[in-house]
Amino acid sequence: MASDGNTSVMIGAMDDIIQRTRITVLIQGREVVVFYHKGEFYAMDMRCYHAGGPLHLGDIEDIDGKVCIICPWHKYKITLTDGEGLYEACNPRDFSTKWCSKGVKQRTHLVHVENGNVYVTLSDLSSPIDSDYYQSEKFKESIKVP
Ligand code: FES
């Protein structure tokens, strides 16, 4: 995903994140989860696009050849590489099923490793994506304890 020129933020030592397999970080006020899975790092907004579920607590599964996080709340499937929402469609004629895309629903971010440290660069925020709502001030206000 392209960056809008945001600077990279060092979020931790590579070895530490590999050992923990996932961490959450706050970057410029944004809650981000970084996963390490089978040799790759992935970063995305921590709250699920559907209803704000905690993606950092989800399981990772391979679905139709794509590495996905499964939201623990309602089991939505989201690809780690692009934030694409996947669903399983059923053909009513023969009840066969196939995986389909809803398009990009979850905001992902760039991750890179340099000198043993992991860096995240927030993606270009100029085009809205469904998950953005759960990073907004409006949402944060709505969950504030009075
Ligand atoms: Fe993630 Fe509903 S909040 S599937």
> What is the ipTM metric for this complex?
0.99
Cα gap 134→33, rounded to integer Å:
13
Distance from residue 48's CA to the centre of ligand 1 (Å): 6
Q: Write the CB contacts of 124 (distance below 8 Å, at least 6 apart in sequence).
A: 1, 2, 3, 4
Does residue 3 carry a pLDDT above 50?
no
Q: Which atom of ligand 1 is nearest to the CA of 51?
A: 3
| C-alpha of residue 77 to centroid of ligand 1, in Å | 9
Taking the CB of residue 105, how many other CB atoms lie within 10 A of it?
Answer: 20
Mean per-residue pLDDT, 83-100: 97
Ligand 1 pocket mutation pick from 50, 55, 78 by most atoms within 8 angstroms of CB: 50
pLDDT at 2 over 50: no
User: Cα(26)–Cα(68) distance, rounded to whole angstroms?
Assistant: 22
Torsion angle (degrees, nearest 10) of CA 57, 81, 22, 100: 20
- Centre a 10 Å sphere on the Cβ of residue 109 and count the other Cβ atoms it contains: 22
Tokens of 31: 């809650």
* Segment 92-121, tens digit of pLDDT: 999 999 999 999 999 999 999 999 999 999
Neighbours of 30 (CB within 10 A): 16
Query: Ligand 1 centroid vs 127 CA: distance in angstroms?
Result: 22
SS3 for 18?
helix
* Whole-number pLDDT of residue 1: 43
Q: How far is CA 128 from CA 90, 105, 106, 115, 118, in A?
A: 30, 10, 10, 33, 26
Q: Residue 5: which pLDDT band, with cuts at 50, 70 and 90?
A: low
**pLDDT band at residue 146 using 50, 70 and 90 as cut-offs:** confident
- 62-72 average pLDDT score: 98
Q: Is 103 left (phi over 0), alpha (psi -120 to 50) or beta?
A: left
Tell me what pLDDT residue 48 has.
98
Which spans in the chain are helix H? 14-20, 137-142
Higher pLDDT residue, 143 or 110? 110
pLDDT at position 125 is 87
